[in-house]
Structures are given as C-alpha cells and as structure tokens.
Amino acid sequence: MKFLCFSDLHRDVVAARKIVELASGADIVIGAGDFATRREGVEDTIQILADITKPAVLVPGNGESATELETAVQVTGWETAKVLHGTSCNLAGIEFWGVGGGIPVTPFGDWSYDFSEDEAEQLLAGCKHEGVLVVHSPPLDTVDHDSSGQIRGSRAIRDAVQAKQPKLVVCGHIHSNWQKRVPLGDACVLNAGPRGVMVEIEFHSV
C-alpha cells in the first residue's frame, strides 16, 4: 500500500499543487495538519487539494480546528477526504485513527488549537492495533527535535504508539524534522512536511 504523506502546508498553494500531482501515484493520501496559519486561510490549500480523487485522511494541526477543517472540506467539495480527530475510519481494509492539534499545549497563545497530554490520552484511547495513526504532533523523542535541539513531542502519543504498535505514524508540527522517519518499536514514525513523502507499507489484511 502506497501512502502519500504531507503536513504543514501553511497556506502554501504551490506546495498544495505539488501534492495533487504526487497523489496520482498513491493509494491513500494522508495530511497531518496545519493547512492554515494561525487559524486563517484553511481553504487556501484545501480548495486545491480537493482535486485529489484518491481516498484521503486528514487531521487538524494547531493552526486550524477540527471544525474549521471539516467545514473547509465540505465547502470545497473534497468528497474523498475524511477528517479525523479522536475518531477512526477504515480505508481499503486498513484502520486509521486520527488526533489533531498541538500536543502538549504550545506556547503560541489562544489562537493555537492545543490539547494537554491528559486530553490527548483520551483522544488516543480508541487507536487500533497495527493500523495507521495520523497525528499533528510527533511522539516524544522521535521526529520532534526543534532547531535548538529541544524535544517537543507528546508523551501521550508515544505511549499510544508503544501500546498499539501501528504500522505507520504520520505527523508534522516540528518543522526542523520534516521528512525524517524513525522506528518506534514496529512502527515507522514519519514527520512528513509540505513536500510530500511516499511511504510503502505492506498490510497482511489488505
């Protein structure tokens, strides 16, 4: 199964058009949040991405809320996209679980769509074994080292990955680690970034 994974477009329409081009080579497209910037302009990229006809799974970043992302998907008519936040879907026999937002709470202020580790633990509770986990924030001490070297990821997400061992974890949020991937147990953890990364993973049930 080929997944086109991306994150952190931040209203970049040129990058969004490139994602649309790349999507033709994927089975499923995964967008790990931050389509907007500071809660503005979420439709700038969604209206371009709506040309993607492959199945797509999206989560909100800290730059847009789940409701704002869902509304943008509906308004632009992106019929193949599903927005997940503490929810799941099944595509091609693969279980997806999604949780968006900044985790833990960011220092950016009231505009940022953030959740505490305790809130995240509840949102992650339904994550399925050996599926795909889509989150905006990375698991702690994986692909979450900022430009100063500080670790910015989520303990709750790391705990969920270690407990449920999804085959693929797609995230973003920490720009300095874009396109970096590391193993965490049997999971492949990818900080996707706006250029798009194609990942091929075999699922025995598919």
CA-based nearest residue to 20, from 48, 61, 55: 48
First to last CA, the chain: 8
| pLDDT tens readout for residues 110-143 | 999 999 999 999 999 999 899 999 999 999 999 9
How far is the C-alpha of 143 from the C-alpha of 171, rounded, in Å? 9
How far is the C-alpha of 193 from the C-alpha of 174, rounded, in Å? 9
- Sheet with 87-91: list strands edge to edge: 87-91, 94-99, 132-135, 168-171, 187-191, 180-184
Is the pLDDT assigned to residue 204 strictly greater than 80?
Answer: no
Is CATH 3.40.50.300 the right assignment for the domain spanning 2-200?
Answer: no
Is the pLDDT assigned to residue 12 strictly greater than 90?
Answer: yes
CA-based nearest residue to 160, from 182, 181, 131, 197: 131
| pLDDT tens readout for residues 146-159 | 999 899 999 999 99
Q: What is the pTM of this model?
A: 0.97
Q: Amino acid identity, residue 63?
A: G
